[in-house]
Amino acid sequence: MVAISIIMPSYNYADLITEAINSVIIQTYKDWELIIVDDGSKDNSLEVINQYVQKYPNIKLFTHNNNENKGLKETIKLGLEKCSGKYIAFLESDDYWKDDYLSKKIDIFNQNPDVKLVFNSVNLFGDEKLITDFKKRFKIHYKDIDEMNLSYFRPEDIAHYFMVMNMIASFSCTMIEKTALQECNFETPREAWLDWWLYTQIVFKHPIYYINEKLTYWRKHPDSYINSFTAEKRIRESTNFRISHLEFIKRFKGLEYNSILLKACLFKLLNKKINEFESCKDSFIESIKNKKVYLYGAGTFAEEVLEYCNAISLDIAGFIDGDKNKAQQKINKYTIFTKDDIATIRPDVIIISVKEWEPCYFELFEYLIQNNLNVPLVSNFFDEIRYKSPIPQNNQLSPEELFLLR
């Protein structure tokens, strides 16, 4: 038995996998085994991997029956069956690690026996456009973690974040105690988000630990699995994932903020099966008519937002803004309130109405949690005017951007 088993899924990355394997071989910590599971590669991946298997006894190769392609979930499950280590690390075959990756992770586990998952920050490399797009969406995640000035997180510290987003960049930056991973349900409704699905189950039960060091090199390239999705498939799978995610979260009755965050994650229309973006939007508009709808953000974007609301016959009760200097001012006939007024004005729903919505969303999200305010939040509703055109039916936007609600 070894201390650490490393699962490396392989699929058609013969030209990249050597960098990943080499980064394992040069680790300063040596008590490991590398379990490579090939998912039916059509290139010469098996030939490349076998060269390492013949040379290193602690590198092992497995395939599905008849070299079938079964997808990431079944590939990870097969790898887990073959592992003998107490801890499971993941390294995707197009990424690689710094040479002290394993030593720093095992030190944390040894010092914190109650911790079940350790993750770290990442270095992005590869396609510059994909890197730029990703940073715009993901920077707030690590900003929030870093500003907490914590490394050790209890479920009550961080579990609520995992209700609405995956706080961990990649499989390639996580190590998990095997027993905690074996307790998880692997039947994710969206295979591309298997990591998020597993992490959520762990963080609701156990403490986790964040290493604020870039120990993983995470490659962004257009041939990756997630970038192969059509817009329609992204929307449908995003919807199904979030519905199932909430059903899982409902089991954790002991968390006092559960009911608030269930609504903060998704509005009630997600109890329906949604097939198209437009029908989703229409259903949402219909569901909030005759409700007290407030817009969060009374800046330069507000005039365009009001025009749009008038065009779709959506009545607005007023604005809320984080700037207290704007309190009781008006935009047209609508009064501007502050966050501190939310308990008094009692909105039925708040829609984020700024162009760069992520910072505002998370600022307000945290405020509602801290003040025990049960108000649904919607972030992507105004994408149609943010982008000056109907939502593109292609891959220009991320699943999160295409999806109506967060």
Q: What's residue 249's pLDDT?
A: 64
* H helix runs in 206-276, sequence order: 231-249, 258-265
The β-bridge partners of 214 are 121
What three-state secondary structure class fits 42?
coil
The tokens for 264 are: 């903060």
Inform me whether the pLDDT recorded for 339 exceeds 90. Answer: yes
Distance of CA 38 to the CA centre of its chain: 25
Residue 311 to residue 318: CA distance in whole angstroms: 17
Q: What's residue 51's pLDDT?
A: 98
**395-406 residue pLDDT tens:** 333 333 333 333
Q: Please check whether residue 174 is in contact with residue 121, taking contact to mean a CB–CB distance below 8 angstroms.
A: no
Positive or negative torsion for Cα 286, 287, 292, 295: negative
**255-298 residue pLDDT tens:** 544 443 444 444 333 333 334 445 556 666 777 778 899 999 99
The length of the chain in residues reads: 406
Residue 214 to residue 112: CA distance in whole angstroms: 21
Of residues 382 and 188, more confidently modeled: 188
Residue 20 to residue 48: CA distance in whole angstroms: 12
Which of 282, 266, 275, 271 lies closest to 233 in space, CA to CA?
Answer: 275
Query: Parallel, antiparallel, or unpaired: how do β-strands 4-10 and 349-352 relate?
Result: unpaired
Distance of CA 48 to the CA centre of its chain: 32
Q: Say how many Å lie between the first and final Cα of the chain, rounded.
A: 43
Q: Which of 173-182, 202-211, 364-373 has the lowest mean pLDDT?
A: 364-373
Residue 116 to residue 236: CA distance in whole angstroms: 32
Cα dist from 24 to 21, 36, 126, 168, 356, whole Å: 5, 12, 20, 21, 39
Q: Which of 7-21, 93-107, 211-225, 227-241 has the lowest mean pLDDT?
A: 227-241
Tell me the domains of the chain and their CATH numbers. Answer: 4-228 (3.90.550.10), 256-402 (3.40.50.720)
**301-311 residue pLDDT tens:** 888 888 888 88
Inform me whether the pLDDT recorded for 388 exceeds 80. Answer: no
**148-199 residue pLDDT tens:** 677 999 887 777 777 767 889 899 999 999 999 999 999 887 777 899 899 9
The tokens for 350 are: 């708040």
The β-bridge partners of 338 are 321
